Each structure stands twice: as C-alpha cells, then as structure tokens.
Structure 1
Amino acid sequence: MKTSQILATMLLISFGSVGAVAFTPGLPQIAEYFGVSTNITGFTVTWYLVGYTLGQLFYGPLTNYFGSRKTIIIGAIVEIIGATGCIASAPMHSFSILLISRTIMAIGAGSGLTLAFILTSKLADPDKNARIISLLTVSFAITPGLAVFAGGVLLEYFNWTSSFYLMCIYGLLILIIGITLPEVIQDKNNNALNPKIIAKNYLAQIKSLPVVLGGLLVGSGTCFVYTFAALAPFIAMDIMHMSTAQYGIYNFIPVVGMILGSLMASALGKTYSTTRMLKIGLTIASLGVIAIVAGVGLFPQNHLSLFAPMFVIYIGFSFVFGNSSALALSKASDKSNASAMLSFVNMGSAVVIVTILGFLNNSNILLLPILYIIFIIIGIICFNILVRHLKPGTI
C-alpha cells in the first residue's frame, strides 16, 4: 500500500468523526439561535451517531454494485448535501431541518469508515493489514481534536454555520480522493442492491461469529472513547473543579496515549502475531482500568487520577482496534459486507452506550470506572471466543 494511499485512507476513516465534532464549539450559539435548551441541542450529536451507524449498512452493497471509487464519491456527495442543509437551516430558522441535515451528513460521512476497511483489506498485504489499520488509528486521535480546534477558530471570526462550510470542503476533498484512488472491487455484482440479496448477505454476516465478535471487540474500545467524552467533562468540572482551560490541556494526555499506542502497535506488528498483539493490548488496557478504579476511588480530587489511566487505556486499545478488525475480516469472503457489518456493530455499540448515558447521573464519579470494568470484560470475552473460533493457522 503506497504512502499516498495510506494518507488518503486516513482522511477517509476520519470523515465521520470530524463531522461529528467540528461543530460542537458552536452548540451554545445553536441553542440560542433556535431558542432551544442545551439538552435538545444535544440531539444534533445523537442523531448524527444514529445516521453514522445506519450508514455503515449502505456501503457494503453499494461497493459491491458500483465499486469502491464510485461509492466514495456517492458518500461524499451525500455528506455535502447534508452539510449544505445544515447551513440552509439558519436562514430558514428551522432546528428540525438542522437535525435532518445532520443525519444526512452522517449517512454520507459514514462511507469513510467502511471504505477505509475495504481499501485496507484489498490494497495491503495480509500480514501488513493490522499495522496499517493501527496507523489509521492515529487519525482518530488527531483529527477530532484538530476539528474542534478549527471549529472554535472559525466560530471566533464567523458564526456557527462556519463549521458546516468546513465540512463541505472536507466532502469535496473526499470526492477528489474517490476519483484518484484505484478501484479495488474488480468483480462487481449487478444484484448487490436487490433488497432480498442485501438481506441475505447481511443475515450471513450476522451469523458470522468472527465479524460480530470483531465488531464487539472494536466496539468495546469505541465505548471507552465515547463514555470518556460524555462523562469526563462532568467529573473534571463538577467534582474535580477544573476550569475549561485546564480540562482542554489535560485532555491531550489520552490523545498522546492513542498516538503513542498506534505507533507502537504499528512497529510491534512487524514482530508479533495478531493474536499476541491483541493480548498485549487488552492487558495494557486492563491495567489502565485497574488504575482508574483505584485512582478515582482513592484520589477523587486529583486530576491525574482521571487522565493518566486514560493514557494507558488508549495505548492498550490502539493495539486492539487494528488487530481485531484484521482478525475478524481475515476469513471473510465478502469483505465489503463484512466490513460494513463490523463497522455497524462497532458504532452501534457507541449509540447504545450514549443512549444509556442519557438516563444516568453523569456527575457520579463511580459511573466511569464501573462502565470501564464492564467494557474490558466484554472485550476479553469476545477476544477469547474469537480466537477459539478461528483456526490456529489463521491467527
């Protein structure tokens, strides 16, 4: 896989996550502009996640029918339409249109995650697949932070719609990538969009234990990320009495952990097997969970008791993200639909946890470690079943 292709795939895999957060600095302005409460404004995030998750199911069949290049272009066009709708909601003064447009944005941007897995599985050598996905994980660590920063800068000089202009530009960039990347689907299926065929293919993927378990294993890590994003601000500011500036600075600690972990996973992937890498990752993440349980239990006012363990956890799951995806897809004959289902299960896990968090007391400092214990146990169980299910020679 060429360096230019890796960079293009990094932009693809970050497409959805950038769209999810770039506008968030403008949430208070949006609430004031439309005259809605902050809780109602939060639906702009919830509905985006729902659209992003459901969007994963579209791109397996579309890729098999149109090929990878046209599918990337389709996703980019849908995202641009959604971003344009978000901009149009301002002069129309319609919060409903903003919500609908955010959902359309998410469906379009959702193409990036599925297509990134498809491209990597097709363009990279099998023994390098996990290492490249580990490099792609760096995008998850860097681009959301850069997107929030860019959204904040734009808000300083313009209004809340400026971030959606930014997403139109990102969509155009993805469209160009779709035109320039090589076609990886050589045998297109003219029946791929037949509803009965789609249902049959996805039913087959649901019955595929490696795909579902791989999605849940990746999803356990994704739940760590979204749970921290949802609960950490309340814990940091309401319980630890941190300022917003302090929170922003300390929040770079987990980000550095994910970047470092991704680079370590890529380097060690040259030496260790996929299974060994997953064992290392889950062990490191487990140590981080133990640290956060002890930290918030014994030192609830200490800022590092929250952020330092996240540094360790993110290092561990940087090993898990790429290797679990590679392991789950290693035996899949239909990599397009398998990648789509894996991404759906992964992001579906995030939607479920975000929905549950909406009904819980986010200021309870014990909620975070309790959920983290549950996530790591699920991850370990999925890993052990997955390894037992696959033949030893494949892992």
Structure 2
Amino acid sequence: MSRKTYVFLILILGSLTALGPFSIDMYLPGFPAIAKDLHTTAAKVSLSLSGFFIGISLGQLLYGPLLDRFGRKKPLYVGLVIYILASVGCAYTESIDSLIFMRVIQAIGSCAASVASIAMVRDLFPVKDNAKVFSLLLLVVGASPMIAPTVGGYVTSVFGWEMVFMILMGMGLLILLAVFLWLPDSYQPDSSISLKPKPILQNFWKVLREPQFYTYAFTGAIAFAGLFAYVSGSPILFMEVFHTDEKVYGWIFAFLSVGFIGSSQVNTLVLNRYKSEQIVRVALMSQVLIALTFLVVALNGWLTLPITLVFLFLFLSCIGFTNPNASALSLAPFAKNAGSASALMGAVQMGMGTLISVLMSQFEEPSALPMVAAMAGSASLALLVLLVGKKTIKQQVEVQQDAEAAFLH
C-alpha cells in the first residue's frame, strides 16, 4: 500500500483504539466534582472506572465472534451507536449507581472499536509489521493521556463534569462517520463461525490453549495492570494526597504519559535490532526493579511530589516497551481467528484492570501505598508468568516472520 494510505489507516485505527482511553482519562479530573454532586466519595466514584473495565472485558468477548462472523464494520457500527447513546446517559445521570451502570454500557460500546482495530491490524498489515503498527497506534492513542485529562480538567472547572460526557458523545459521532466513509472492510464474513455459546467457547479455548498466546497475553495483561493501578489511584494521590487542583492534575497526567508514549515510539527503532521477546524480557525486568524501589521509598515515607513523578515516569516508560511487543507476540500464531484472539487478549487485559481498580477503590484513606504496592505486585507477577510460560512454548512464531508462516491454525 502507498505511504498515504498507510498513514491514513493508522490514524483511523488509532482513533478507534483511543476511544476507550479517552473515555477513561477525560473524566478523571472530575472525580471530586462528581462525588460532590452525586453525594458520595471519590473512592465510590472510582467504581465507575471499574464498571468501565468490566464492560470492556465482557464486550470484547462478545464482539470477537461477531467480528469474525459478520466482518469488521457491521459490529463496529452497532458498538459505536451504543457508545454514543450511553455517553448521553452518563451526562444526565443523577446517582452514582446509575453512573456506574451507564459506564458499563458505554464500555460495551467502546470496546467494539478497540477489538476491531486490533483485529484489523492483523488483517491489513503483514505479521512482520505488526509490532511497529501497534507502536504507531500507541502514538495516536497517546493523544488521550496527553490531551484528555487536561481538557477534562478545564471543562470540568468551567462547564461541569457532565460536559465531558457530551464531548465524548461528539467524538463517537465523528469516529462513526470516519469509519463509514473511509475505513475498508478488511475481512470477509465467515458464515461457518457459529454464534452459539458452545462453539464460541470452544473457539476461545482453542486460542487460549496456544502456549505462545497465554504466555504473552497474560504477561502483557498483568504488566499492563500496573497502568490501571496508576490510573485508578492517581486522582486520589495527586488531588487528595498532594492537594493539586483539577487543572494541575491534568497537566501532571499529560506529562507522565510522555514516558509511556515516548518509549512506545522508541520501541519501533529498537525493533530494528532486537526481537520482540528480547525487548519484553528486558523491559519487564526493569519494570520490576523500578516498582520495588518505588515501594521501598513509599514504605519509608520518603515520597515527595517530584520523587513520585520520577518513579511513575520510569515505570510507565517500561510499559511502553512491554505492551506492543507482548500484544504482537500474542497474536502472531493466528490468522483465521484473529478477531477472537484479539478479543480474548483484550478481555484478559481489561479483566486484570478491573481487578486492580476494584482493589484500589477499597482504600478510603488517601495514600500512595495502595497504588505503589499494586504496581510492584503486578510487575513481579508478570515477570514470573513470563519465565514459567516461556518453558511451555515449543516453537515460537516470531513477529518478524511472514504472514504465511504464522498461519498455524
């Protein structure tokens, strides 16, 4: 394909991938305002974030088979319409319970975009380019943590938190229009794919029992859970422990995202010299070392705002290397059922995010310790899963191989 087409596809797929992160990041500065208006606590408001993760986990398992059965675009249209309607529902909610419910529905809609975009990477680009494409998608997604919380902070302080969800509704409409007009349907519908529960579960089981998939999918998901711990804990950490306001919090979140996004782009250069599996191993070992040091500093009461920012920047930078390579290695063995594989990978990732965000919401007292401990625990467990899982892989499919070599199923 031409360079112009390549860039255009990356922008559209990146926008689809970014819809979920925007939905997460933009309302974070509004936690205190939402808690005040809905007569609850910031910790209870964080359950709406957990609800979003639950919706994404469930929705990805739903959309995986639909994307393989009906092609990529029809299920994507349905998901985007659900997202748009749920965003309006969030803006007009009057209780924390209804907000949590609408966030679950909003997530179910948004994850159609994320599952479709990941599957279409596997459809549209050769396997040898997948890790680089994932890194480029992260560059587009990087607009989320750099722009969304900052905009959300200003919108919340001037117009109120409800306006944030109306903006998200507008984004959904624009993306729906772009998909309809310019995104090719990259996959022929496969009528042999059954939508009955038993065949669907059998298909997921076929994906899950692939050693390369479960090793790198769980390694990547558990390592990525550290990011969810940061996202869940950062509003309380910065606005209640360090007493910043919504606007300053937005700028801090934007600054820290530079580490995550910047490293994901350096990853595209590093891939010219090293294999994805080598990068995952080194990045994950670094992530563990940084997180454990962070925990020791927190336990001794040595944390200040600048020290906290340094540790978070380094930790998120490691994830920027781990995530795209683990994703590419997870999907490398699949061609025919890439939709189901990407859905299952995303469900595992969001499932881990749900667990860690629910855990974070149980701590009512403002403190850095729960977030830091969760980050250290997730990184250490991810390294253990990698070391144990690697022993079960008999013949690894490299992301540098041609697409034909990856057609194992």
Q: Distance in 1 between matches of 2:371 and 2:99?
A: 31
Q: Distance in 2 between matches of 1:381 and 1:277?
A: 16
Deviations 1:156-215 (A, max 9, x none): 443433222212211112212332212222252354322232222223333333333333
Say whether 1:48 aligns with 2:49. Answer: no
Deviations 1:34-61 (A, max 9, x none): 4444444333222222112211111111
CA 40–231 in structure 1, closer or farther in 2 if over 3 Å, else same: closer
Say whether 1:358 aligns with 2:351. Answer: no
Q: Distance in 1 between matches of 2:264 and 2:158?
A: 35
Give the unaligned 5+ runs of structure 2. 399-409
Q: Which amino acid aligns with 1:124?
A: F
Structure-2 residue corresponding to 1:260: 262
Give the SS at the match of 2:333.
coil
Task: Report the CA distance between 1:224 and its aligned residue.
Answer: 1.1
Alignment of 1:1-395 (within 5 A): 2-89=6-93, 93=94, 96-179=97-180, 180-236=182-238, 241-244=242-245, 247-297=249-299, 300-332=302-334, 333-360=336-363, 363-392=366-395, 394-395=397-398
Q: Distance in 2 between matches of 1:378 and 1:304?
A: 27
Q: Distance in 2 between matches of 1:182 and 1:129?
A: 18
Deviations 1:117-163 (A, max 9, x none): 10111212211101111222234443134122223333344343322
Count how many residue pairs are aligned between Structure 1 and Structure 2. Answer: 391
Q: What TM-score, normalized to structure 1?
A: 0.88
Q: Distance in 2 between matches of 1:286 and 1:35?
A: 39
Supply the RMSD in Å over aligned alpha carbons: 2.7
Q: Which amino acid aligns with 2:54?
A: V
Q: Which amino acid aligns with 1:210?
A: Q
Q: Which amino acid aligns with 1:302?
A: T
Q: Distance in 2 between matches of 1:204 and 1:380?
A: 25
Give the SS at the match of 1:389.
coil
Give the unaligned 5+ runs of structure 1. none
Paired residues of 1:287 and 1:313 also in contact (CA < 8 A): no
Q: Distance in 2 between matches of 1:95 and 1:358?
A: 14
Q: Which amino acid aligns with 1:322?
A: P
Q: Which amino acid aligns with 2:65?
A: P
Q: Distance in 2 between matches of 1:27 and 1:302?
A: 23
Deviations 1:304-344 (A, max 9, x none): 32221222222221111111111111112411111101100
CA 182–247 in structure 1, closer or farther in 2 if over 3 Å, else same: closer
Structure-1 residue corresponding to 2:403: none
Q: Distance in 2 between matches of 1:21 and 1:293?
A: 25
